[in-house]
Amino acid sequence: MPSNKEEWKKVVENPIDFLLQTFPSKIQATKVWVIEPSWAKDVKIKAAFERFNASLKNMQSVFDSRNADVELKNRNGAEILPYQLLN
């Protein structure tokens, strides 16, 4: 969130560039990915993550089975891409 008038001016002039400046650099992101997450040792957080991960896998299997069903007209036909989970 912009904290002063200068930053607000940048947001108004070019919001996309301002947003892109808030993302980490490739090196920063790589360092975070390489280091083991600190939450992995917390049992409650890890259990919640595992439940979330399982629900995503379940959704993907539902998408796959529905995409294979030729009776579902909104999922089959010319130039219709199958539904998929973005990950």
pLDDT digits (tens, 9 = 90+) for 20-34: 888 888 888 777 766
What single DSSP character describes residue 36? P
Do residues 31 and 47 share a domain?
A: no
Exposed, middle or buried by CB within 10 Å (0-12, 13-18, 19+), for 23? exposed
- Given a cut of 50, the residues of the chain with pLDDT beneath it are none
Report the pLDDT value the prediction gives residue 54, as an integer from 0 to 100. 92
φ, ψ at 70 (rounded to 5°): -70, -15
Do residues 45 and 75 share a domain?
A: yes
Report the pLDDT value the prediction gives residue 85, as an integer from 0 to 100. 66
Report the pLDDT value the prediction gives residue 67, as an integer from 0 to 100. 81
**Amino acid present at 69:** D
* Beta carbons within 8 Å of 75's beta carbon, 6+ residues apart: 66, 67, 69, 82, 83
Report the pLDDT value the prediction gives residue 68, as an integer from 0 to 100. 83
Do residues 26 and 43 share a domain?
A: no
pTM for the predicted model, two decimal places: 0.47
Do residues 6 and 22 share a domain?
A: yes
What's the total number of domains in the chain?
2
* Beta carbons within 8 Å of 39's beta carbon, 6+ residues apart: 45, 46, 49
